[in-house]
Amino acid sequence: MNGQDRFPGPGRDPGTSGDSARRHRERQARALRFREARRTVRESSAQAGLSLNEPVPAAGQKAGSLPPAGAAEHNPRNNPDGKKRQPRAGVLTKVLLLAVELLLLAAAVRGLIGLHRQTQPVYFTLRYLIPGQEDIVEEVRAGDTVPLRGAEDLEGYNFLYWERPDGTPETDAQLLPAQDTVYTARYALAFPTEAHTAYLTVNEEGVFGVNEPVTVRELVLALDRILNLDRIGKGRFQDVDPEDPCYTAAATLKDLGVLRGEWLYPDDRVTRADLLELLSRFYPASSASFSFPDLEPGDDCWAAFCLARERGWIDAGEAAPGEEICRGELARILNRVLGRTPRYLQPEEAVGTILDVPPSHPFYADVAEAVIPHDYTDEEGFERWTDSKPLPAHSPGLFFVGVRLHYIGEDGRAAVSTTVDGRSYNQCGELTSGNEELDRRLWKILEETVDPASMSKDEMLRAVYQYVANSFTRHSDAFYPPGAGGWAPEAALRLLEEGNGSSHGYAALFYELATFVGWQPRLISGGIYGHQTQFEAEDGTEVHLPGAYTPHAWVEIREDGLFYLYDPEMEARYDGSRSFYRFYDPMRWQKGYRSTF
């Protein structure tokens, strides 16, 4: 090799040929591009928050610098065989560039997605589910308030409320959705109002029992007749036997959500609160608020009473939630629930005879509506019956409804607000003493001492006589003059209130009770032979009796033309050792009884 070839002249590239110079220039260009790309990566990574690790420099090499161009190609250790190889730095550069481009692309995509989300509105879906209908779907933009849908009509049912996914009613009228939500419509079976069928009954004797308390069993059967459900319920109660008449009705009402729990208590009496709370389950809650003097808004049954007041089921006044419902009031409330208007337009012959509910009775129209199936026409909001199945006519005479005595005349009409054969009857057709307080006390005594269904007339008379003779303490009291009349209610009530009295109180109470069990007694104020010769009358005047007669009172009842005497006070005086029950007329003179002087 000569010196000319050993040291290249100025402007010549190292190498043995022109190809070597060209390759050298290419390597320098690639190195320049690499440095520019790495600088671009660092700047982009800093803007995107990325961190890239730089390659570790070789020994003696400054960080960030590249080996001289062609070093790998001319180093015999790296290329001992002298063959041409692909530079390793070029492959790493391409891989690094590809990774950087992918990272930059991912960051750009994330940025575009975030920007899209920031600029596009978010919507939530409200889905309303209605049985037997297509779902109602509404889309609501996040942050917007929308009204809750109103009631959805479903034939034969009353809409109650929209139920939230957690099973509770939605109470807010305005909704602010924060997520997709599903609401389910809840309904209750509606009462049919077109057909006026009977839902209460009278007994075999034609007695309704207007003042009798309503039991749970009777209420369940009445609702079942109104709803006319033709299916077998699956609900069960632990205290209802399958043979009980209300078994299927109660089970079906439980399926409908009207009855709840595991115990029915079928023989319990129904209170006003019980009835109205049960009826409220057929209707949506009231938005009205009413004031009741005996009920507070925090009470459990307050909402039910507000609904009943709003819908006109009950009148204004005291709620009386714990008061037991009688059969007459049950008929009135259920008629109002059903929208029936039974006032004044049905003729008596279309009803027949309801023995304990004459036409003058305040519950007559409602009871007739409840027990007589009928067709009707509407005349300005009132019913006129066009066809009915009247109750049968009953034979005339006295009859008991429980322990209350009634009378049917020869014309088939009940005695009401009148007097027949010396007996007085009130507006309900019940035998009365003329004093309402005394009547209530007498009926209570009779409920405890007699049973008209199983006892004869004589047995009942003996029972009330023994009650009077054994239930009070003898005590001197003001007397009534011989021949006085009209004092029986006063004297009888005083004996009941004070628990003691004279012969006049004993006789008066027995007289009233004997009348209430069907007898026609007469009350005598006279004298009995004894040591007292004078006394002070009720009005304060002194009354003198001849000889040694003492003021005294007793009861007489006529049988077979003879008057028999009954003296419960003397029975009490002798503590039963001598009988003063039913001895006939001549003997009263022998015993010293005298009615006139």
Higher pLDDT, 502 or 91: 502
Q: How many domains does the chain have?
A: 4
- Judgement on whether residues 273 and 369 belong to the same structural domain of the protein: yes
pLDDT tens readout for residues 534-550:
556 666 666 656 667 88
Q: Is residue 431 included in any domain, yes or no?
A: no
The pLDDT-based confidence of 96 (bands split at 50, 70, 90) is confident
Residue 198 is predicted with a pLDDT of 94
User: What is the total residue count of the chain?
Assistant: 597
Instruction: Look up the pTM and report it.
Output: 0.61
Per-residue pLDDT, 73? 44
Please check whether residues 588 and 518 belong to one and the same domain. Answer: yes
Non-local (6+) Cβ contacts of 501 within 8 A are 472, 474, 475, 477, 491, 494, 495
pLDDT in tens, 243-276: 888 898 999 888 888 898 999 999 999 999 999 9
Pick from 137, 171, 189: which residue ends a domain?
A: 189
- Does 437 fall in a domain? no
Higher-confidence residue of 562 and 334: namely: 334
- Quote the domain boundaries for residue 171: 123-189
State in Å, rounded, how far the first CA of the chain is from the last one. 188
Residues 183 and 252 in one domain: no
Predicted confidence band of residue 59 (pLDDT cuts 50, 70, 90): very low
Q: In this prediction, what percent of the chain has a pLDDT beyond 70? A: 80
Give the list of residues 6+ apart from residue 478 with CB closer than 8 angstroms, or none.
502, 536, 537, 538
Pair type for strands 181-189 and 123-129: parallel
Helix (H) or strand (E) run with residue 379 in it: strand 374-379
d(CA 597, CA 537): 16
Same domain flag for 72 and 129: no
Q: Are residues 108 and 128 in the same domain?
A: no
In the predicted model, is pLDDT for residue 205 greater than 70?
yes
User: Do 370 and 238 lie in a common domain?
Assistant: yes
* Predicted confidence band of residue 287 (pLDDT cuts 50, 70, 90): confident
Closest CA to 406 of 391, 436, 392, 427: 427
- The whole-number pLDDT of residue 3 equals 41
